[in-house]
Amino acid sequence: MKYDIDSLTAAVNATTGIELTYLDPLLDKTTSLLAEEHEAVCIFVNDICDATVLEQLHKHGVKYVALRCAGYNNVDLAAAAKLGIKVTRVPSYAPEAVAEFAVGMIMTVVRKYHKSFLRVREGNFLLDGLLGFNLSGKTVGLVGTGKIGLITGRILSKGFHCNVVAFDPYPSPEAAEHGIKYVDTLEELLRQSDIVSLHCPLTPQTTYIIDDNTVAQMKKGVILINTSRGGLIDSYALIRGLKSGHIGAVGLDVYEREAGYFFADSSAKIIHDDVFVRLLSFYNVFMR
């Protein structure tokens, strides 16, 4: 992507002894050969770096895997350690930027800015269907309170006067000063929250943390926001929740099978993922 090239080129120009090769294909078992004669690969969220790919990279002489993101669920760390391949990641992935974006997505979904913009462009100034609600006094549930979750909570509690609750197996000692109160279980958070925002990593324990069971535990008309990882949500359960009206609106910056579509222009192509297309068809789903 152009912004990657611009950023990395600027960084390399300020350094010596590093040569970069920019490649368009995503990393997987069919493209790992492209890393031959390179000591390191630099990958992003949708690259596949499982045990098979790591074995291939090792044969090609790769010694380092550097991730341009905070999450590392796409890398088999045990296999990397066995092969002696060092793995690095971004320890703090612009937490203010992501938190502000998450709050912006909440505001977009609640106030329907995207629909208002399109209407005005067409000369339609009717207010029908654009009614939102005040965030002040509403309960927002944060699933995960890492750096991004904490900042999101601070903006909502101190800026919008929301009642912010959170669930995290590893509570942060900084939560209280950000105006965040912990609850004991995920179910308790879901039952209380008018808005649920996901800020946890994708692990075997959090995969499909939002499924039919957890959707049923939410308030009717809940707003669900995900700016973390697509695999946190079972897309089929999400569609069922939207069709039934139990989920009032959704804001998504990620999708569980996004690799073939995100960061690419598919405007002149057929999208073959029927689940993705179904989500895009809902009037109350905002995807970006």
CA–CA distance from 167 to each of 180, 185, 186, 205 (Å)? 10, 6, 6, 14
258 catalytically annotated: yes
Locate 140 and state its tokens: 């927002």
Which residue among the candidates 229, 240, 257, 288 is catalytic per the annotation? 229
Angle between helices 147-154 and 95-111 (to 10 degrees): 50
The contacts of residue 87 (CB under 8 Å, 6+ apart) are 64, 65, 66, 67, 72, 75, 77, 80
Closest CA to 224 of 286, 283, 275: 286
Quote the Cα angle for 6-253-167, to 5°. 120
Which residue among the candidates 36, 100, 258, 288 is catalytic per the annotation? 258
Determine the Cα–Cα distance for residues 272 and 111; give it in Å rounded to an integer. 31
Active site residues: 229, 258
